Amino acid sequence: MFNMYWKPSPLQSALLSSALFLICIGAYLFVSHQRHQENPSDKIMPTVSKIADGVQRTAFETDRKGEYRLWIDTWASFKRFGISLGLMGFAILLGLYMGLFPVVEALFYRFMLFFDKVPALALLPILFIVFGLGEVSKVSLIVLGVFPTIALDTYLRAKAVPGEQLIKARTLGASNLGITFRVVLPQIMPDVLNTIRLNFKAMVLFLIAGESLAASVGLGYRIFVVRRYIAMDIIIPYVLWMSLLAFTADLLVRLWIKKGYAWHRAH
């Protein structure tokens, strides 16, 4: 079985793929059960029924303020994430222009290169002071954290487009804008989308960091507040929920690439 030519059957493949998931879940259930035998009110590793109860309370019942927490938190975080994602469009544009126009490259490239290495989290207090405690500071943290990476990645990909193609397009009468948006952008777009997709994790991390420091609603906010009474029965579903949302977003982008850029798979 352990050679490079082995071809798993669909069943074998499914078994192997689920093995690690099952081991993790099994290990959790085992340890949680043991802890509960020792201390029935253990909160650190709640049992499945306690977690289910946590989901019930956060998603389908109102809290003492009369709010369905899970949904208002999801909506608040979703908005912050969505706005930041929209702003990534500017990162793509900047990267594209840096790759194609020497004047933009000269102005921005070195700055972006440096900016990319600045740990945005360490600047949070400054962000809060400049942008206040509202939404702007949270969105700007995500943008500051991921913008340079996306811009630089787009830049590298635009640079990698063969010069012959640009000359060819120009001899066929393409303008600057034509080359930028009809020759270069379409062919680097799938790779750029992949980079954005892979940066979802960083964006979520920055989102949680921002929400944990100053907020009154949001997924990250809730996790940090209920930590004050070790409500792991809420934290665990929240973490799973966030993973699921990020996974879904990732899946959507992959589908977009697959449908919109079918030629890309041939590469």
Q: Does 115 bind other proteins (CB under 8 A)?
A: no
> Which range, of 94-102, 139-147, 181-189, 214-222, touches other proteins by CB under 8 A?
214-222
Site membership for other proteins, residue 236 (CB under 8 A): no
Residue type, 237: P
**Hunting for tokens 């999801």 — which residue is that?**
74
User: Residue written as tokens 């993790």?
Assistant: 24
The span from the CA of 189 to the CA of 164, in Å, is 19
Q: Please tell me whether residue 63 binds other proteins under the rule CB under 8 A.
A: yes
Note whether 229 binds other proteins by CB under 8 A: yes
The least CB distance from residue 27 to other proteins, in Å, is 17
What is the SS3 assignment for 174?
Answer: coil
102: Cβ–Cβ under 8 A, 6 or more apart, which residues? Answer: none
Q: For other proteins, which is the closer residue by CB, 99 or 210?
A: 210
Exposed / middle / buried, residue 148 (Cβ in 10 Å: 0-12, 13-18, 19+) = buried
The residue range among 94-102, 181-189, 207-215, 239-247 that interacts with other proteins, by the rule CB under 8 A, is 207-215
Structure tokens at 201: 């994790």
Total residues in contact with other proteins, by rule CB under 8 A: 30
Q: Is 67 in the site for other proteins (CB under 8 A)?
A: no
Distance from the Cα of residue 93 to its chain's centroid = 20
User: Quick check: helix, strand or coil at residue 1?
Assistant: coil
Tell me: does residue 163 bind other proteins (CB under 8 A): no
Q: Which amino acid type is present at position 206?
A: F
Q: Which two tokens stand for residue 265?
A: 């798979």
> Rounded distance, CA 171 to CA 167, Å?
6
CB 237 within 8 A of CB 54: yes
User: Is there a contact between 32 and 46 (Cβ–Cβ < 8 Å)?
Assistant: yes
Nearer to other proteins by Cβ, of 214 and 246: the residue is 214
Interface residue with other proteins among 3, 171, 216, 259 (CB under 8 A) is: 216
The residue (of 223 and 249) whose beta carbon lies closer to other proteins is: 223
Scanning residues 21 to 60, which ones bind other proteins (CB under 8 A)? 39-44, 53, 57
Q: How far is the CB of 130 from other proteins (least distance, A)?
A: 9
Does 231 engage in binding with other proteins (CB under 8 A)? yes
88, 100, 124, 142: residue in contact with other proteins (rule CB under 8 A): 124
Interface contacts to other proteins, rule CB under 8 A: 39-44, 53, 57, 63-64, 124-125, 128-129, 132-133, 212-216, 221, 224-225, 227-231, 234
